[in-house]
């Protein structure tokens, strides 16, 4: 649903400068967008990560994990605020290891070269060997860290350092700060200790302290680990300092992707990737210099990461402040991913009478409590599903795709016939036995109406939003908006071009004619069953050109109406649509209105409009036969895409390729398709917690966004009309439909960006 925006004159003047600055960058952006694309992507296996979360119990102390390790039998061990627990492979149950009066806070779990598990606790060291637990003597508790030097082990705590050789623990005469936070040994057997007073090297009975800013970002050292090149990574308050012997090589801070100044652990994975756990998730640094972040409930039971360990298959086990997360690694191709997501779509998201929609959860976050739900834009989103099935059929000629595309078209057609009007269509329909619908019927007091009118002078109070169908089987929702019309026309276009046979083309033709004739009869406003225009579906010259409250919609609504008429003219061959099209251009200035599509006032720009415009451009380019007008639209389209240099909207990239034959932003498309998780829960993701990005008002002035486009893996589940830069995203009550992925996948196949898989 569109939104109404008001901006004061000083802001209008200020931001006109911004528009000019953007325009000056347009040529460079266009060059970047139109770089020659790579060859067709071969669908080879890639690593697909998935997340499994574990809670130890309902006791918060049990879930506060301080240390984690995986033994040689794939058992997962954790030290928590309440004790030590172990989980066997293929089980979700955690079992306490120490019971009775000895049970208490634990700090460290380590697997020795022999396969023993050492447990550092409040009252000393325990050893689990040959499936038996015993307590080691010779240390003074508590023991907070244990590390292995290949021939023995070190144990550390507030009262000193001990080394285990042979069969006993012996005290070491190293004077260090008592605030031990981590310890590791290098290849020469030297001990390195991170403390709140700095980094210590313990060698040959002597210690050397590094705590100056020339040594470390700060002296508060919390964690250490070696990278594949033997460099020592020191996690401190402020980031990571990378050292080689006595030399500081570099610092990694929030400017280089650390999401929080609080670094809690660093661990090297079996494939040489450095995992840095922070208070805002875990960031991984690869050998090639790239990095990737995992945070939010999508990936972690809690954003505060205290420790990381790896099992024999390379899966990461992450101890957090509120449970354990396993990030599993599995190989998958795009073909595999397509099959997985399509199966999820068919199993849950399609409801009678073939509506593609979201799932709502009775219990937020509990996917077992799901049920189908309505949405204001069920027509638009089912149109996206129709487009997806149309491209699937165009690529595969699969009869199943054709049947399902026809069912989606019939649903969209039903949205009109269920209203029993000459051309008005509903937003959505649901069975009458549903006990809950969104935005139900209600009454408005005069005071409420006054409040809304002050906020939005165009406001229309609609008390009866849902009406019962004549046969009593359905409730249908009115007050349909322009975005619904755009979605319908886009869906009909792809169905007509890619799927429909002659009989089906006639059905599309008659249906579109009925809707557009209704628009002409109502002077280009979509009139609801109450005899009045809906709140948003306004295209008439009287309002668009002469009512200042509609100035914000002038360019896009003019563009929409010209597209509808051109579509109807092509489908029917009826000259009346061309005459109206020309009248609006010649007499009402609609083409001039459209010419400002890419220079809207910043106060009037919303991200939704980018997607709606992307729906319609291919229709105009396909059906316009006047060479001058076609050249005008083509130039406008090029400039429109160049205004989106990040290439973040896959539908816009791929519809442009469909309409022009030019492959653009290919790497963004492939990156998104590969990086998208399989989990369709709309996990809330709060980027304002991150320190590696800034809060900005770009590209949309009205919204709070972050300065860096998040990759698919840390973006809320997408609908392409939503702003991907939004600082806060997601809704824990929803499971989204996977059309957002399947639609661009099939378009990429159709556009020969992705190679067809071999049989």
Domain presence at residue 578: no
**pLDDT grade for 245, boundaries at 50, 70 and 90:** confident
**Is the domain of 511 the same as that of 482?**
yes
Q: Rounded to an integer, what distance in angstroms lies between the CA atom of residue 317 and that of residue 13?
A: 54
CB 198 within 8 A of CB 210: yes
**Is the domain of 211 the same as that of 285?**
yes
Report the pLDDT value the prediction gives residue 139, as an integer from 0 to 100.
Answer: 98
Q: What is the pLDDT of residues 373-415, one digit of tens each?
A: 999 999 999 999 999 999 999 999 999 999 999 999 999 999 9
**Is the domain of 245 the same as that of 191?**
yes
Angstrom CA distances, 696 to 25, 60, 499, 675, stand at 19, 36, 43, 25
> Closest Cα partner for 742 from 395, 358, 388, 386?
388
**Is the domain of 383 the same as that of 490?**
yes
Of 520, 538, 556, the one marking the end of a domain is: 538
- For residue 4, pLDDT beyond 50: no
**Is the domain of 378 the same as that of 297?**
no
**Across 514-527, average pLDDT:** 97
**Across 671-678, average pLDDT:** 98
**At 438, phi and psi to the nearest 5?**
-75, 145
**Across 603-617, average pLDDT:** 97
Q: Rounded to an integer, what distance in angstroms lies between the CA atom of residue 474 and that of residue 476?
A: 6
**Is the domain of 296 the same as that of 405?**
no
- For residue 274, pLDDT beyond 90: yes
Report the pLDDT value the prediction gives residue 21, as an integer from 0 to 100.
Answer: 31
Angstrom CA distances, 22 to 132, 516, 606, 643, stand at 69, 37, 16, 8
Helix or strand or coil: residue 190? coil
Provide the token pair at 440. Answer: 């139900």
Report the pLDDT value the prediction gives residue 737, as an integer from 0 to 100.
Answer: 97
Q: What is the pLDDT of residues 121-137, one digit of tens each?
A: 999 999 999 999 999 99
**At 153, phi and psi to the nearest 5?**
-135, 150
CB 217 within 8 A of CB 236: yes
Domain presence at residue 664: no
Strand-pair partners of 297: none
**Is the domain of 423 the same as that of 533?**
yes
- By percentage, how much of the chain surpasses pLDDT 90? 92
Q: What is the pLDDT of residues 23-82, one digit of tens each?
A: 333 333 333 343 444 579 999 999 999 999 999 999 999 999 999 999 999 999 999 999
Q: How many residues would you count in the chain?
A: 759
Report the pLDDT value the prediction gives residue 483, as an integer from 0 to 100.
Answer: 97
**Is the domain of 324 the same as that of 394?**
no
pTM of the prediction? 0.93
Q: What is the pLDDT of residues 702-753, one digit of tens each?
A: 999 999 999 999 999 889 999 999 999 999 999 999 999 999 999 999 999 9
**At 372, phi and psi to the nearest 5?**
-65, 150
What interhelical angle do 502-521 and 399-417 show, nearest 10?
Answer: 30
Domain presence at residue 476: yes
Which distant-in-sequence residues (6+ apart) come within 8 Å of 23 by Cβ?
599
Q: Rounded to an integer, what distance in angstroms lies between the CA atom of residue 260 and that of residue 277?
A: 9
Which distant-in-sequence residues (6+ apart) come within 8 Å of 746 by Cβ?
388, 391, 392, 395
**pLDDT grade for 152, boundaries at 50, 70 and 90:** confident
Q: What is the pLDDT of residues 286-296, one digit of tens each?
A: 999 999 999 99
Domain presence at residue 238: yes
CB 50 within 8 A of CB 327: yes
**Is the domain of 144 the same as that of 78?**
yes
**Is the domain of 304 the same as that of 362?**
no
CATH of the domain at 63: 2.130.10.10
Alpha helices in 352-422 (DSSP H): 378-396, 399-417
Q: How many domains does the chain have?
A: 2
Q: What is the pLDDT of residues 675-712, one digit of tens each?
A: 999 999 999 999 999 999 999 999 999 999 999 999 99
Q: Rounded to an integer, what distance in angstroms lies between the CA atom of residue 390 and that of residue 384?
A: 10
Which distant-in-sequence residues (6+ apart) come within 8 Å of 427 by Cβ?
376, 377, 378, 379, 415, 476, 477, 478, 479, 480, 481, 484
Q: What is the pLDDT of residues 544-597, one digit of tens each?
A: 999 999 999 999 999 999 999 999 999 999 999 999 999 999 999 999 999 999
Of 522, 538, 554, the one marking the end of a domain is: 538
* Number of Cα atoms under 13 Å in the Cβ half of residue 273: 20
**pLDDT grade for 145, boundaries at 50, 70 and 90:** very high
Domain presence at residue 402: yes
Report the pLDDT value the prediction gives residue 757, as an integer from 0 to 100.
Answer: 84
Mean pLDDT over each residue of the chain, to the nearest integer = 94
**Is the domain of 265 the same as that of 384?**
no
Which distant-in-sequence residues (6+ apart) come within 8 Å of 671 by Cβ?
711, 712
Domain presence at residue 30: no
> Closest Cα partner for 155 from 107, 226, 197, 223?
107
CB 710 within 8 A of CB 356: no
**Is the domain of 324 the same as that of 364?**
no
Report the pLDDT value the prediction gives residue 19, as an integer from 0 to 100.
Answer: 28
Angstrom CA distances, 270 to 74, 273, 287, 315, stand at 15, 7, 12, 9
Helix or strand or coil: residue 737? coil
**pLDDT grade for 335, boundaries at 50, 70 and 90:** very high
Q: Rounded to an integer, what distance in angstroms lies between the CA atom of residue 430 and that of residue 477?
A: 9
- For residue 430, pLDDT beyond 50: yes
Domain presence at residue 516: yes
| Residue 302 belongs to domain spanning | 47-332
Report the pLDDT value the prediction gives residue 150, as an integer from 0 to 100.
Answer: 66
Report the pLDDT value the prediction gives residue 39, as an integer from 0 to 100.
Answer: 75
Report the pLDDT value the prediction gives residue 151, as an integer from 0 to 100.
Answer: 67
Of 303, 332, 361, the one marking the end of a domain is: 332
Please, what is the Cα angle at 647 between 603 and 25, to 5 degrees?
A: 60
Domain presence at residue 699: no
């Amino acid at each position: 649903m569109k939104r109404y925006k008001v901006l004061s004159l000083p802001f209008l003047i200020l931001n006109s400068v911004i528009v000019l600055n953007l325009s000056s960058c347009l040529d460079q952006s266009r060059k970047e967008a139109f770089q020659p694309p790579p060859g067709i992507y071969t669908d080879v296996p890639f690593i697909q990560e998935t997340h499994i979360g574990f809670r130890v119990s309902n006791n918060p102390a049990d879930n506060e994990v301080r240390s984690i390790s995986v033994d040689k039998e794939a058992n997962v061990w954790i030290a928590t605020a309440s004790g030590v627990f172990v989980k066997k492979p293929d089980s979700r149950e955690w079992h306490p290891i120490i019971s009775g009066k000895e049970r208490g806070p634990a700090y460290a779990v380590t697997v020795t070269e022999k396969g023993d598990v050492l447990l550092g606790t409040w009252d000393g060291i325990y050893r689990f060997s040959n499936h038996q637990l015993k307590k080691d003597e010779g240390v003074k508790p508590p023991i907070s860290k244990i590390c292995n030097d290949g021939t023995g082990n070190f144990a550390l705590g507030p009262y000193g350092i001990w080394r285990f050789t042979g069969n006993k623990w012996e005290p070491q005469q190293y004077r260090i700060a008592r605030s031990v936070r981590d310890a590791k040994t290098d290849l020469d057997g030297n001990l390195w200790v991170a403390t709140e007073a700095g980094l210590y090297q313990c060698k040959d009975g002597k210690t050397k302290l590094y705590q100056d800013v020339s040594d470390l970002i700060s002296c508060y050292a919390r964690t250490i680990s070696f990278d594949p090149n033997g460099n020592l990574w020191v996690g401190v308050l402020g980031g990571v300092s990378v050292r080689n012997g006595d030399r500081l090589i570099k610092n990694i801070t929030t400017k280089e992707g650390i999401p929080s100044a609080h670094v809690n652990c660093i661990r090297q994975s079996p494939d040489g990737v450095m995992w840095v756990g922070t208070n805002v998730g875990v960031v991984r640094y690869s050998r090639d210099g790239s990095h990737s972040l995992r945070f939010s409930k999508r990936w972690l039971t809690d954003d505060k990461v205290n420790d990381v360990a790896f099992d024999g298959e390379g899966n990461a086990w992450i101890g957090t402040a509120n449970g354990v997360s396993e990030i599993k690694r599995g190989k998958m191709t795009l073909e595999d991913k397509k099959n997985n997501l399509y199966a999820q779509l068919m199993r849950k998201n399609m409801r009678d009478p073939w509506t593609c929609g979201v799932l709502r959860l009775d219990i937020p976050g509990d996917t077992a409590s799901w049920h189908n739900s309505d949405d204001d834009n069920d027509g638009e989103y089912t149109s996206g599903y129709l487009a997806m099935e149309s491209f699937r059929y165009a690529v595969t000629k699969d009869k199943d795709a054709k049947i399902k595309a026809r069912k989606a078209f019939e649903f969209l057609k039903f949205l009109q016939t269920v209203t029993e009007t000459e051309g008005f269509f509903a937003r959505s329909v649901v069975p009458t036995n549903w006990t809950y619908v969104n935005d139900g019927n209600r009454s408005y007091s005069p005071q409420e109406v006054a409040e809304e009118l002050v906020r939005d002078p165009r406001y229309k109070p609609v008390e009866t939003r849902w009406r019962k169908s004549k046969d009593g089987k359905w409730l249908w929702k009115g007050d349909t908006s322009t975005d619904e019309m755009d979605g319908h026309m886009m869906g009909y276009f792809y169905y007509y071009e890619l799927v429909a046979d002659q009989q089906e083309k006639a059905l599309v033709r008659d249906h579109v004619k009925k809707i557009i004739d209704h628009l002409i009869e109502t002077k280009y406003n979509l009139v609801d069953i109450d005899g009045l225009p809906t709140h948003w579906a306004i295209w008439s010259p009287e309002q668009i050109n002469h009512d200042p409250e509609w100035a914000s919609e002038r360019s896009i609504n003019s563009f929409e109406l010209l597209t509808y008429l051109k579509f109807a003219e092509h489908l029917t061959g009826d000259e009346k649509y061309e005459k109206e099209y020309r009248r609006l251009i010649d007499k009402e200035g609609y083409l001039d209105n459209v010419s400002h599509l890419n220079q809207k006032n910043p106060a009037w720009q919303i991200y939704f409009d980018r997607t709606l415009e992307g729906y319609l451009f291919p229709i105009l380019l396909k059906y316009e036969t006047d060479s001058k007008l076609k050249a005008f639209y083509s130039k406008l389209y090029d400039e429109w895409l160049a205004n989106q240099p990040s290439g973040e909207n896959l539908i816009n990239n791929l519809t442009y390729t469909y309409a022009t034959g030019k492959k653009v932003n290919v790497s963004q498309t492939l990156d998104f398709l590969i990086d998208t998780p399989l989990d369709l829960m709309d996990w809330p993701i709060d980027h304002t917690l991150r320190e590696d990005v800034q809060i900005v008002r770009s590209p949309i002035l009205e919204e709070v966004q972050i300065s860096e486009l998040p990759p698919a893996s840390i973006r809320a589940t997408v609908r392409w009309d939503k702003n991907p830069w939004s600082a806060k995203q997601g809704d824990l009550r929803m499971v989204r439909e996977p059309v957002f992925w399947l639609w661009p996948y099939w378009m990429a196949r159709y556009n020969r960006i992705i190679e067809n898989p071999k049989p």
